[in-house]
Chains A and B, each alone.
Chain A
Amino acid sequence: MNGIIKGRAFVYGANIDTDQIYPGGYLDLTDPELVARHAMERVDPDFAKEVKPGDMIVAGANFGCGSSREHAAVTLKASGIAAVLAESFARIFYRNAINLGLPLLVCPGIAKLVKRGDMLSVDLTEGKVIDQTTGASVTAQPLSAYVMAILGNGGVKPMIRKQRGLLEEE
């Protein structure tokens, strides 16, 4: 959860629901590599072909609304998405993504500021987002201490293992 991440922006509108992020027809899949093949299929059929590790999603309000499917967070994480920056997030998606160690930043006004393909630089600790293509910048709302702790552990699974006294090597 430290340092600066850099990547290209994929930009979407408001109310991108989990059916668009990961269609219901594939919910029987569990393997992250198979799940990643259908990322953003209903909103952007080219996404899975174009996405590269380190890229970021930028969106309007209420990103991840709808179903509780953790697949929506898994598909983005397994696609290599390094962070999602949105005006706001739906709550179950928020929990699911943070649990997986996928940083989500609430960035007021970002969807209008960034264009698809812009290079973004994000300081996760400071919450500073810079669009290197245009020079624009946005400051994200700070993450709660609890969320920072989960991300600092690399997700909730390593955190729970640590809390239960289980070594990662086990």
Chain B
Amino acid sequence: MHALEKILARAAGREEVITGEIVNCAVDLAGINDLYLQTLRSFAEMGGRKVHDPQKVVMFLDHFAPASTITQADNQKQFREFCWEQGIDLLMDINEGVCHQILADKRLVRPGMLVVVTDSHTTTHGAFGAFGTGVGATDLAIILITGQLWFRVPEVIRIHLEGTIGKGVFAKDIILKVIGTLGADYGVYRAVEFTGPVLDRLGVSERMTLCNMTTEMGAKTAYIQPDPVTFEFLEDKLELDSPVLTTDPGYRYAAVHTFDVTGLKPQVAAPHSVDNVSDIAEYLGRPINQAFLGTCTGGRVEDLAVAARILKGRRINPRTRFVVVPASKGVFLEAMAKGYIQTLVEAGATFVTPSCAACLGTHQGILAPGETCITASSRNFPGRMGHAEAEIFVASPASVAAAALEGKIADPVQYLV
């Protein structure tokens, strides 16, 4: 069995599971976000009265943080009241940040856990050796009532990363290359595991970016086998309490793809799909109205650090807005202590409170018709960040900062040598 299958088997109370079968699993951690009041509606519609295990539920008020409309405010009010009534202590209110970063910061995800959140980017937690997967509101309501949910045991695709990463090239560039090569639907219903010597040189932040973006190839979940990098991060605050599961020798992957990152240049996904990927060199000079740095994909301390390095002592182009959103309170505090916030504000950045912000086009950095944005977030679908006639380029945080500086798409490598 694959380690991911062992996670499902444990959660299903079984010795083993078989690829393709449907199993009912006890969920170790269930997260709800504030976009989905339907979760509470479905809970009531299915006759839910008491949450099965409130200690295993986390409520995130992150997508509308803070509320911009009366409806958003009322939804958040209902979520808070639900948490208070049901004894859900892990209420992450509007001052905490984006769900996936909070789970990492608070070390709430451990290797071997089954983590389900009403958010597609729950694949992020593969960075910690967990089975993280996104569901909709009604599925989450079923977990609230029963503590369980059905899953189809997925085939696993292995992405083997070899070679040496060049200057100005990051995990975001690697995963864009992978998605561009394999396609936006390559991973549908399947899991993606990353292996190979490149992982030894990627910290938890970059591993989270790799796993996070597997959603953009349709993956059900992602996985990186926990190693000393994982344990160092996790043992920082808590004793490691979960047994670490490993994949059996001889496990048959559905497919294995090897990528040699040596010589890889900064990548960009051009409008309007995440698999429309090429070297950033193809688009150098394209004028940029807004550069967006943030989210569960690209708003971590390391991301703000590289932006600060590029912009230290410089000013952004006066025709470009540079919207920066730390992914969480923890990220915000650490970036402040390290001086990155000061550097970025002095360079001309517009700061937004830790949240999902403009990534999903609800508020705080919406694009006008005909505008062009370069983003460290995950998606460039038509209308994703505002008007359907706005154009979105997805790139690494370094490429975003370089574009903010020059007012046009630029190669970040020149600022990082």
Binding site for B on A (CB under 8 A): 14-15, 17, 19-20, 23-25, 27-30, 42-43, 61-62, 65-71, 73-74, 88-92, 95-96, 99-100, 144, 146, 156-157, 160-161, 164, 166, 170
Q: Are B379 and A19 in contact (CB under 8 A)?
A: yes
Q: Tally of A-B residue pairs with Cβ under 8 A?
A: 124
Q: Are A66 and B381 in contact (CB under 8 A)?
A: yes
Interface residues of B in 355-393 (CB under 8 A from A): 360-362, 379, 381-384, 388
A160 and B46 contact, Cβ closer than 8 Å, known pairs A65-B184, A92-B134: yes
A114 to B64, CA, bound (A): 40
Stretch at the interface among B3-11, B35-43, B304-312, B394-402: B35-43
Q: Mark B165-200, 1 if CB is under 8 A from A, else 0.
A: 000000000000000000011001100000000000
Count of B interface residues, CB-CB < 8 Å:
46
Known: A30-B37, A30-B75, A66-B379. 20 other contacts (CB 8 A): A15-B184, A15-B185, A19-B379, A24-B360, A28-B37, A28-B71, A28-B75, A42-B383, A43-B382, A68-B135, A69-B36, A91-B188, A91-B218, A95-B136, A144-B22, A144-B152, A146-B22, A156-B139, A160-B46, A161-B47
Give B36 Cβ to nearest chain A Cβ, in Å. Answer: 7
Q: Does B69 contact A (CB under 8 A)?
A: yes
Q: Does B72 contact A (CB under 8 A)?
A: yes
Can you identify 15 A-B contacts, CB atoms within 8 angstroms?
A17-B381, A24-B362, A27-B362, A30-B37, A42-B382, A62-B218, A69-B35, A73-B136, A99-B138, A99-B139, A156-B139, A156-B142, A157-B42, A157-B45, A170-B47
A88 to B188, CA, bound (A): 9
Q: Are B220 and A164 in contact (CB under 8 A)?
A: no
A33 to B308, CA, bound (A): 47
What 3 A-B pairs come out closest when comparing CB atoms? A62-B185, A70-B136, A96-B136
Chain B facing A: main interface SS = loop
Give B378 Cβ to nearest chain A Cβ, in Å. Answer: 9
Q: Does B145 contact A (CB under 8 A)?
A: yes
Q: Are A19 and B382 in contact (CB under 8 A)?
A: yes
| Residue from the list A67, A71, A90 in contact with B218, Cβ < 8 A | A90
| Residue from the list B64, B69, B135 in contact with A95, Cβ < 8 A | B135
